[in-house]
Chains A and B, each alone.
Chain A
Amino acid sequence: MSEHDEQHAHRLRRELPQEVPPPVNPPGDDDAAQPERNGLTGRQRLLKGLWPPRLTRAQLIVALLLFGLGFGLAVQVASNSDSDSALRGARQEDLVRILDELDDRTQRLEDEKQGLEKQRDELENSSDQAEEARKQTLEKERQLGVLAGTVAAQGPGITVTIEDAKGTVEADMLLDAIQELRAAGAEAIQVNGVRVVAGTYLADSGNSVSVDGNKINAPYRFQVIGKPQDLEPALNIPGGVVQTLEKEQATVTVERSSKIVVDALRAAERPDYARSSSQ
């Protein structure tokens, strides 16, 4: 207690002896009060106050006040340990500052989010574009593969069969036929299982013909993909391939078909010298 309180207590204490002394001697119970001042230590006084419990007015009042203190203490501790304890006891200016900081932080995070979303969109776009380019490249590769003979092809076209009973058909006649078909718009050609491409050569080889080094024998069977209405007349024109061959005692049959499969393949070869100039 403060000095003031103590002085207060001193004054009261001076008053007390006048009241207390008379009953001090008779009852044995109250001897605690008398020797207290004489030689009783604080520790003994504390133990005496604690045990035995005495139901006095002073004890009750102090108990009541201490009840209030304990209650307030517990309530404060409980409310302070709530989840939002950090803001409960805060003052208005602190709250305003915290709110400002949160607003700033939200703004910053929002900006960051927008930046990241933009970046994500760009990446998605570019990956879409890359995907599209890849698709186009694949498509182109397939188209070029049909021309280069690296992939199988199918479509409408004609089948030309040249029966050479007398062995009079030579490589140049077959080459004429191929040139005629190409001129008429043939897109994929195979002869007896050999794909005919840009670099194909034909040569006589004894009684038969070799195409790119592969010997083929009569009957020569051309499978040609292209527009049948163009291909067939191109072979049949007067003085054309069919007439020339028939003059050599060969029989030629031309059949239109809505589905010709050209499945003879040729390995893709990397040119030794020529390089694409676009790269």
Chain B
Amino acid sequence: MIAVLGLVVGVVAGLLVRPEVPAAVEPYLPIAVVAALDAVFGGLRAMLDGIFDDKVFVVSFLSNVVVAALIVFLGDKLGVGAQLSTGVVVVLGIRIFSNAAAIRRHVFRA
């Protein structure tokens, strides 16, 4: 419950504050957000499976974000940033879908 509240408060704060995104972080923010979404869906699935662990969640969340940003950074340096970030988004999207399918099976038994 508190976790859900945290998400809601975060969205509201982001909308209200509307901070200017620093140029250095700008290319990484969307990828980082998608990676974090993947970690959250994974965590939700783990919770429904009854195997949720906060330490695993924290580590997977942070590592997802960092690795995603790193891949984009590396891609930019190599000159294939656009393609690589597309690839990252595709992979993360597939994982989000499979996790969502597992969650759906738990919640709706279908």
Q: CA–CA, A78 to B51, complex, Å?
A: 35
Q: Tell whether, in the assembled complex, residue A69 and residue B10 are in contact, meaning their CB atoms are under 8 Å apart.
A: yes
Whether, in the assembled complex, B70 has its beta carbon less than 8 Å from a beta carbon of chain A, the answer is: no
CB B64 to nearest CB in A, in angstroms, measures: 9
Whether, in the assembled complex, A40 has its beta carbon less than 8 Å from a beta carbon of chain B, the answer is: yes
- Whether A91 contacts B55 in the complex (CB less than 8 A), given A42-B107, A62-B6, A63-B3, comes out as no
Contact bitstring A37-62, B, C-beta under 8 A = 1, else 0? 10011110110011111110111111
Q: Tell whether, in the assembled complex, residue B2 and residue A76 are in contact, meaning their CB atoms are under 8 Å apart.
A: no
> What residues of chain A lie closer than 8 Å to B90, measured between beta carbons?
none
Whether, in the assembled complex, A99 has its beta carbon less than 8 Å from a beta carbon of chain B, the answer is: no
Whether, in the assembled complex, B93 has its beta carbon less than 8 Å from a beta carbon of chain A, the answer is: no
How many A-B contacts are there with CB distance less than 8 Å? 167
Whether, in the assembled complex, B33 has its beta carbon less than 8 Å from a beta carbon of chain A, the answer is: yes
Whether, in the assembled complex, A237 has its beta carbon less than 8 Å from a beta carbon of chain B, the answer is: no
Q: Tell whether, in the assembled complex, residue A63 and residue B6 are in contact, meaning their CB atoms are under 8 Å apart.
A: yes
- Whether A42 contacts B106 in the complex (CB less than 8 A), given A70-B7, A75-B19, comes out as yes
Whether, in the assembled complex, A89 has its beta carbon less than 8 Å from a beta carbon of chain B, the answer is: yes
Whether, in the assembled complex, B101 has its beta carbon less than 8 Å from a beta carbon of chain A, the answer is: no
Whether, in the assembled complex, A12 has its beta carbon less than 8 Å from a beta carbon of chain B, the answer is: yes
Q: Tell whether, in the assembled complex, residue B107 and residue A72 are in contact, meaning their CB atoms are under 8 Å apart.
A: no
Q: Tell whether, in the assembled complex, residue B51 and residue A71 are in contact, meaning their CB atoms are under 8 Å apart.
A: no
> What residues of chain B lie closer than 8 Å to A76, measured between beta carbons?
21, 29-30, 33
> What residues of chain A lie closer than 8 Å to B52, measured between beta carbons?
9
Whether, in the assembled complex, B74 has its beta carbon less than 8 Å from a beta carbon of chain A, the answer is: no
- With beta carbons under 8 angstroms apart, the residue of A13, A58, A66, A79 that contacts B10 is A66
CB B5 to nearest CB in A, in angstroms, measures: 6
Q: Tell whether, in the assembled complex, residue A50 and residue B1 are in contact, meaning their CB atoms are under 8 Å apart.
A: yes
- With beta carbons under 8 angstroms apart, the residue of B6, B43, B82 that contacts A64 is B6
CB B63 to nearest CB in A, in angstroms, measures: 10
Q: Tell whether, in the assembled complex, residue A74 and residue B11 are in contact, meaning their CB atoms are under 8 Å apart.
A: yes
CB A76 to nearest CB in B, in angstroms, measures: 5
Contact bitstring B24-55, A, C-beta under 8 A = 1, else 0? 00110110110011011011011111111111
Q: Tell whether, in the assembled complex, residue A9 and residue B51 are in contact, meaning their CB atoms are under 8 Å apart.
A: yes
> What residues of chain A lie closer than 8 Å to B43, measured between beta carbons?
1, 62
- With beta carbons under 8 angstroms apart, the residue of B51, B57, B81 that contacts A65 is B57
- List 9 contacting pairs A-B, 8 Å CB cutoff, sorted by A: A1-B99, A9-B56, A43-B109, A59-B2, A61-B54, A69-B10, A72-B29, A74-B11, A88-B26
- Known pairs A42-B103, A89-B26 / 16 extra A-B pairs, C-beta < 8 Å: A1-B42, A2-B42, A8-B53, A9-B52, A9-B53, A42-B49, A42-B50, A51-B1, A54-B1, A59-B3, A63-B6, A63-B7, A69-B10, A79-B21, A88-B26, A94-B82
- Chain B residues with a Cβ under 8 A of chain A: 1-15, 18-19, 21, 26-27, 29-30, 32-33, 36-37, 39-40, 42-43, 45-58, 60-62, 76, 81-82, 95, 99, 103, 105-107, 109
